[in-house]
Amino acid sequence: MTSLPYTRAQSLPAILAERIAILDGAMGTMIQRFRLGEQQYRGEGYSGQGSAGDRFADFPGDLKGNNELLSLTRPDVISSIHDGYLAAGADLIETNTFGATRIAQDDYGMADLAREMNLVSAKLARAACDRFSTPDRPRFAAGALGPTPKTASISPDVNDPAARNVSFEELRRSYYEQVEALVEGGVDVLLVETIFDTLNAKAALYAIEEFFEASGERLPVMISGTVTDASGRVLSGQTVSAFWASVRHVRPLSIGLNCALGAALMRPYIQELAKVAQGTFISCYPNAGLPNPMSDTGFDETPADTSRLVHEFAKEGLVNIVGGCCGTTPDHIEAIGRAVSLCSPRPALFRF
């Protein structure tokens, strides 16, 4: 395909070469703090800007837990989370669209709302970035593309290894719809994240490239995988080096890891990526340690703990983008920002 210059976020590569940029923390963790019930997920009790009124009052099934729906029913909650992370020093914030694909939303009977969820979520993130951006400190909205609950590489039936519950084409169509809406809503960057199945990710990346060619737009693409256990592999079986080899053809702005193991156990795999992924930037946004249901955030690490570990990555010259995943809050992001503020970014001879 013909290469095009970035049509948005043209300044971002230079920023990443100059300093370590800060990504936001966990959307889900912050949503949990609002302790919303079933009726609040449906929009009851909110009549402010963007209110859905009684649109979802009688929608069948349970909707609590469908965090992407909150962009339509409680935009005030999503906007306040964005503002909290931006105030804590985030340079990039993710849209509330991790599960906003037709494939994921089908679990709630809301597949037909996926496009609207992405469009509205992108507009909320765009507005938040515009509120906090200054000429010296631009803020960027990253359109988040999650992995979906289905895997194109692994059978859901232990008795039938050839069985699949989703096809590459179904994933491609779902992701294309998501990308189109995110870009229309005003995102600066596209972030394919929490990748446990590289084939799912390749469907997302194919859809992105397809959209770029059709639209004339070309946004920076960030890619982030997740190592699922101490074997150092993604769930579909690849090492991080093999994962990079599978996606490098799209020439992403960054490649990295998030979620899963937490920073302490993630370090050797970030080191491996930093070694093999020449010519691109490296991102790292780990969980706040391991899950702990007794903790306020559901995870063990305090802001001091997580920021100390991430600082080690930065001090070693491994990273260009850092932030937090599950269990992290604006306090974590502020602490991470302070911890890496005097560290130099990983050198990357990035060329587009």
CB atoms within 10 A of CB 311: 20
Average pLDDT across the chain, whole number = 94
User: DSSP alpha helices (H): ranges in 19-101?
Assistant: 27-33, 38-41, 70-73, 75-87
The token pair that represents 6 in the structure block: 């970035």
Binding residues: 259, 325-326
Q: What is the pLDDT of residue 275?
A: 95
Phi and psi angles of residue 208, each rounded to the nearest 5 degrees, phi first: -60, -50
Distance CA 352, CA 216 (A): 16
Burial of 121 (0-12, 13-18, 19+ CB in 10 A): buried
Distance CA 330, CA 324 (A): 9
pLDDT of residue 91 exceeding 70: yes
Q: What is the pLDDT of residue 4?
A: 59
- Domain range 11-29+78-341, CATH class: alpha beta
pLDDT of residue 2 exceeding 50: no
Predicted confidence band of residue 352 (pLDDT cuts 50, 70, 90): very low
Binding residues for Zn(2+): 259, 325-326
The closest alpha carbon to 24, from 98, 99, 83, belongs to: 83
Burial 37-55 (b: 16+ CB within 10 A, else e): eeebbbbbebeeebbbeee
The answer for residues whose C-beta is within 8 angstroms of residue 135's C-beta and 6 or more apart is: none
Query: For the chain, what are the domain ranges?
Result: 11-29+78-341
The answer for residues whose C-beta is within 8 angstroms of residue 21's C-beta and 6 or more apart is: 12, 15, 91, 92, 320, 321, 322
pLDDT of residue 3 exceeding 50: no
Inter-residue contact 201 to 233 (CB < 8 Å): no
User: Strand 92-94 relative to strand 321-322: parallel, antiparallel, unpaired?
Assistant: unpaired
User: What residue type is 237 in one-letter code?
Assistant: G
Average pLDDT in the 46-52 region? 96
201 vs 157, more confident? 201
pLDDT of residue 98 exceeding 50: yes
To the nearest 5 percent, what fractions of the chain are helix, strand and coil? 45, 10, 45
- CA-based angle 31:32:33, to the nearest 5? 90
Q: What is the pLDDT of residue 236?
A: 85
The closest alpha carbon to 313, from 282, 279, 277, belongs to: 282
Q: What is the pLDDT of residue 26?
A: 97
Q: What is the pLDDT of residue 351?
A: 55
Task: Specify the length of the chain in residues.
Answer: 352
Predicted confidence band of residue 158 (pLDDT cuts 50, 70, 90): confident
Average pLDDT in the 141-161 region? 93
Specify the range with the lowest mean pLDDT, choosing from 5-14, 146-155, 236-245, 342-351.
342-351
Tokens 């260009």 — which residue? 320
Specify the range with the lowest mean pLDDT, choosing from 123-127, 135-139, 210-214, 229-233.
229-233
pLDDT of residue 1 exceeding 60: no
| Half-sphere exposure in the Cβ direction for 191 (13 Å, CA) | 29
CB atoms within 10 A of CB 214: 10
% of residues, the chain, pLDDT over 90: 86
User: Strand 140-145 relative to strand 92-94: parallel, antiparallel, unpaired?
Assistant: parallel
The closest alpha carbon to 257, from 281, 233, 284, belongs to: 284
pLDDT of residue 122 exceeding 70: yes
Q: What is the pLDDT of residues 324-351, one digit of tens each?
A: 999 999 999 999 999 999 999 999 765 5
Q: What is the pLDDT of residue 349?
A: 65
Q: What is the pLDDT of residue 65?
A: 97
**What is the strand order of the sheet 21-22 is part of?**
21-22, 321-322, 281-286, 254-259, 221-225, 189-195, 140-145, 92-94
Q: What is the pLDDT of residues 249-304, one digit of tens each?
A: 999 999 999 998 788 889 999 999 999 998 899 999 999 988 888 787 788 899 99
Q: What is the pLDDT of residues 65-86, one digit of tens each?
A: 999 999 999 999 999 999 999 9
Q: What is the pLDDT of residues 190-222, one digit of tens each?
A: 999 999 999 999 999 999 999 999 999 999 999
Q: What is the pLDDT of residues 81-90, one digit of tens each?
A: 999 999 999 9
% of residues, the chain, pLDDT over 70: 98
What letter would DSSP give residue 112? Answer: G
